Structure 1
Amino acid sequence: MIILEAQGYRLELAPDRGGSVLRLDWRGEPLMRPNCGSTIFDVASFPLVPFSNRIARGRFNTGARKGRIAPNFPGSDHPHPLHGFGWLNAWDVVEQSADGAVLEHGYPGGEWPWPYRARQSFQLGAEGFTIALSVTNLGDAPMPAGLGFHPYFPRDAQTVYRGRHRGEWYNTPDCLPSSLDEHEEAIDWWQGRPVDTRAVDTAYTGREGALEIDWPSRGLGVTIAPSDGLTTTVVFSPAGADFFCVEPVSHATDAINRAPETLTWLEPGETAEVGMTISARLLA
């Protein structure tokens, strides 16, 4: 485990556990849900590379390359592999200091027919916790690439999430997109109500501005500022849970089959990078 500290923030990383974040605190208060168990779904956050969310039945055909990815949902035979390969593999520590670290993960090619190198950079400072995630195409043909982050946040009956997006996807029961409800202008789909009032697991498109979470019972909030390439936000708020996920990502679910043009296509040797900053704030 790697521990970083600066400006009241404390970050715990687990390179060998999917390059994940185990805990992010500010002044002793957890900003992400602290690690609560032994599986990858129990960590505070993990990276999404080289794609986000599900690929239907694990099959795709870009014209130049075909792929078939086996189910990868730990402990389940769920038919749609999800979140890429980075979250289920160990990452190497490339750099480390008191307030920052760099991790790398390499994929040689296989089910995903393009080899790549992924890198995460973590930094703590006065602005908060900043993380950058990149992927480089190490193959000899153009590679579609998607990136994102999968943080878990604590939740109680008063927790409020605010994020302005133009569209909300409706899903099939197995969480594949079926239709898009889209507005001309970005709106707050919760309309200021607590997270508990909607149980969803879906993607919101056309993000505008930052994302915010408030915990009135704690007098604390966070602002999540994703980079411009993270145009979509996946929100997972299961009914009755004490957590929810707000996932800034670069594309909607199953984009490689439904809208491959929305992915970033990397030429051999080319790199794509995204990032986000999470800043703590006291509520008035």
Structure 2
Amino acid sequence: MIIEAQGYRLELAPERGGSVLRLDWHGEPLMRPACGNTIFDVASFPLVPFSNRIARGCFNTGARRGTIAPNFPGSDHPHPLHGFGWLAAWQVTEQGEDHAVLEHVYPGGEWPWPYRARQTFQLGAWGVVTSISVTNLGDATMPAGLGFHPYFPRDAATVYRGFHRGEWYNTPDCLPSSLDEQDEAIDWWQGEPVDARAVDTAYTGREGALEIDWPTRGLGLTILPSDELSTTVVFSPKGEDYFCVEPVTHATDAINRTPETMAWLEPGETASVSMTISARQLA
């Protein structure tokens, strides 16, 4: 399905994890267009009801405990990640020329809390606003995290700017090991191109917007996450033509390590986040 407005064109695949297949502005790709048949080949997918990895899939909130099976498609990676929405089919509940609403309901299971998730996409002169919410449909308090997992095109000159106070160092299997925290938010790339650092980690204490510039294309974009999205996961694999900038509510394995950074929803309660992506021409 496709929605368009003000030069923005968004192609969605509800049946494929509620994902974005491509986002263009006046014909220029802002996200990496879908390039294959797996969920990792889409332009963006939603993160619900948690972000990133849960160590060995095990958690114990005191009231509830459980184990989630590994869910990394095509891999034996031991830590399930990104929740359940990205691997589920979503239903279209509303669609117009410039907007769409998708819904995914999880009945409970390995994650012992049933929930309803919604994504809303709205296009306009301000850009593309994407929101995601999760509602606790169960009878007990549910921990919840939300986020977005967009992929962006990258060449040797691509620059990413995001100001954060902390950077997590990871173990080889991408679990947090230690936090390097500064007195103030800094640009951890120090203005250098994305290629200068190969990372797959979380940055905490975000301040302000996130920006990407493609000087060779004369194009840039600004990502403005809502305040709840205080953490940014960056995945910049060496030698690839893409990278990910993921606004999220909490760092990796938060349910076990920093549960206070998750939302704790009473039965019937809803948490929601949003991000606005706007394109700009470089001078």
Verify same fold: TM over 0.5.
yes
Structure 2 residue identity aligned to 1:250: T
Structure 1 residue identity aligned to 2:135: T
Give the deviation of 1:225 after TM superposition: 0.2
State TM-score, norm by structure 2: 1.00
Structure 2 residue identity aligned to 1:43: V
Instruction: Tell me the distance in 1 between the aligned counterparts of 2:66 and 2:247.
Output: 25
Instruction: Tell me the distance in 1 between the aligned counterparts of 2:92 and 2:164.
Output: 36
Instruction: Tell me the distance in 2 between the aligned counterparts of 1:44 and 1:82.
Output: 18
Equivalent residue for 2:172? 173
Equivalent residue for 2:124? 125
Equivalent residue for 1:251? 250
Equivalent residue for 1:15? 14
Instruction: Tell me the distance in 2 between the aligned counterparts of 1:112 and 1:183.
Output: 35
Query: Is 2:265 the partner of 1:266?
Result: yes
Equivalent residue for 1:154? 153
Stretches (4+) displaced over 2 A: none
Instruction: Tell me the distance in 2 between the aligned counterparts of 1:170 and 1:34.
Output: 30
Give SS of 1:101's match: strand
Instruction: Tell me the distance in 2 between the aligned counterparts of 1:4 and 1:95.
Output: 12
Instruction: Tell me the distance in 1 between the aligned counterparts of 2:122 and 2:66.
Output: 35
The answer for unaligned runs of 5 or more in structure 2 is: none
Equivalent residue for 1:30? 29
State TM-score, norm by structure 1: 0.99
Give the deviation of 1:72 after TM superposition: 0.1
Equivalent residue for 2:3? 4
Give SS of 1:261's match: helix
Query: Is 2:148 the partner of 1:144?
Result: no
Query: Is 2:127 the partner of 1:105?
Result: no
Instruction: Tell me the distance in 2 between the aligned counterparts of 1:152 and 1:215.
Output: 14
Give the deviation of 1:77 after TM superposition: 1.2
Structure 1 residue identity aligned to 2:12: L
Query: Is 2:92 the partner of 1:89?
Result: no
Q: Residues 48-67 of structure 1: matches in 2 within 5 Å?
A: 48-67=47-66
Equivalent residue for 2:224? 225
Q: May I ask how many residue pairs the two structures share in their alignment?
A: 283
The answer for unaligned runs of 5 or more in structure 1 is: none
Query: Is 2:278 the partner of 1:240?
Result: no
Instruction: Tell me the distance in 1 between the aligned counterparts of 2:132 and 2:87.
Output: 16
Q: Deviations over 1:212-254 (max 9, x none)?
A: 0000000000000000000000000000000000000000000
Give the deviation of 1:26 after TM superposition: 0.1
Q: CA RMSD in A?
A: 0.3
Q: Deviations over 1:88-145 (max 9, x none)?
A: 0000000000000000000000000000000000010000011000000000000000
Give SS of 1:217's match: helix
Q: Residues 186-201 of structure 1: matches in 2 within 5 Å?
A: 186-201=185-200
Q: Residues 36-51 of structure 1: matches in 2 within 5 Å?
A: 36-51=35-50
Equivalent residue for 1:209? 208
Instruction: Tell me the distance in 1 between the aligned counterparts of 2:260 and 2:102.
Output: 29
Give the deviation of 1:184 after TM superposition: 1.0
Give SS of 1:245's match: strand
Q: Deviations over 1:43-102 (max 9, x none)?
A: 000000000000000000000000100000001111000000000000000000000000
Equivalent residue for 1:275? 274
Instruction: Tell me the distance in 2 between the aligned counterparts of 1:261 and 1:66.
Output: 17
**Percent identity among equivalent residues?**
84
Structure 2 residue identity aligned to 1:258: R
Q: Deviations over 1:132-178 (max 9, x none)?
A: 00000000000000000000000000000000000000000000000
Give the deviation of 1:208 after TM superposition: 0.2
Q: Deviations over 1:17-56 (max 9, x none)?
A: 0000000000000000000000000000000000000000
